[in-house]
């Protein structure tokens, strides 16, 4: 079983590869630009929301197919950057897992937060250790990029920001599509991408 420390190191390595352009494919030319972030910290990290901006309408346009059901409350809004990992199987690229770092804003305790995103798909808070794993329940295609998604939680852990998450939206995707053309059996590659992730809990 992969420990939290190992997951963070793996995601950190993926992010470093992206920054250096090593072992990762570039985002497709002409990919749709992500929605501009609202806030930025002192290190240049951008966030999908900031103080006073975290509302259920933080994203201008969400496709109807991936709207969250009624009775949900937005508790976190993050910008994620990393890679979509693919492996060559039977002559074709097959998706394996995401590896990304997320930075954003959470309502409780009401500050900026960081998260790692990995196989599951899962999201784990690097601030409080809480975790959510989810399954895809709906998708909306994006030309030249991986689709936007609605995911429903299957496993949660901890009392932190992700401890009671019910739904996750992946929005404003850019890049991440499997490489075109032939591949060598067993070959692995990471394709750079970014997306906005929004986390919901049942409204009380």
The tens-digit pLDDT sequence of the chain (204 residues) is 445 444 544 445 444 434 333 344 443 333 333 333 344 433 343 444 444 444 443 445 899 999 999 999 999 999 999 999 999 999 999 999 999 999 999 987 778 999 999 999 999 999 999 999 999 999 999 999 999 999 999 999 999 999 999 999 999 999 999 999 889 999 999 999 999 999 999 997
Confirm whether 31 is domain-assigned: no
Confirm whether 179 is domain-assigned: yes
Confirm whether 30 is domain-assigned: no
Structural domains of the chain, count: 1
Q: Which residue has the tokens 């630009």?
A: 33
Query: Contact at 8 Å (CB) between 114 and 108?
Result: no
Alpha-carbon distance 202 to 123, whole Å? 18
SS3 of 148, please? Answer: strand
Confirm whether 102 is domain-assigned: yes
Q: Within the chain, how many helices (H) and strands (E) appear?
A: 1, 11
Confirm whether 29 is domain-assigned: no
Question: Residue 116's domain spans which residues?
Answer: 4-24+37-202
Confirm whether 115 is domain-assigned: yes
Q: Is the pTM of this model over 0.85?
A: no
């Amino acid at each position: 079983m992969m420990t939290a420390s190992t997951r963070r190191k793996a995601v950190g390595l993926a992010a470093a590869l992206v920054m250096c352009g090593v072992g990762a494919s570039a985002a497709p030319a002409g990919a749709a630009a992500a929605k501009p972030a609202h806030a930025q910290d002192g290190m240049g990290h951008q966030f999908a929301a900031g103080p006073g901006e975290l509302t259920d309408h933080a994203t201008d346009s969400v496709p109807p197919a991936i709207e969250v059901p009624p009775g949900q409350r937005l508790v976190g809004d993050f910008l994620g950057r990393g890679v979509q990992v693919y492996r060559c199987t039977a002559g074709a690229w097959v998706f394996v897992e995401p590896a990304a770092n997320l930075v954003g804003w959470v309502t409780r305790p009401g500050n900026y937060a960081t998260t790692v995103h990995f196989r599951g798909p899962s999201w784990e808070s690097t601030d409080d250790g809480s975790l959510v794993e989810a399954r895809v329940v709906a998708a909306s295609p994006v030309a030249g990029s991986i689709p936007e998604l609605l995911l429903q939680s299957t496993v949660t852990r901890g009392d932190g920001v992700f401890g009671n998450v019910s739904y996750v939206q992946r929005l404003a995707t850019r890049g991440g599509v499997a490489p075109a053309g032939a591949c060598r059996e067993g070959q692995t590659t990471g394709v750079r991408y970014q997306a906005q992730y929004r986390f919901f809990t049942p409204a009380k």
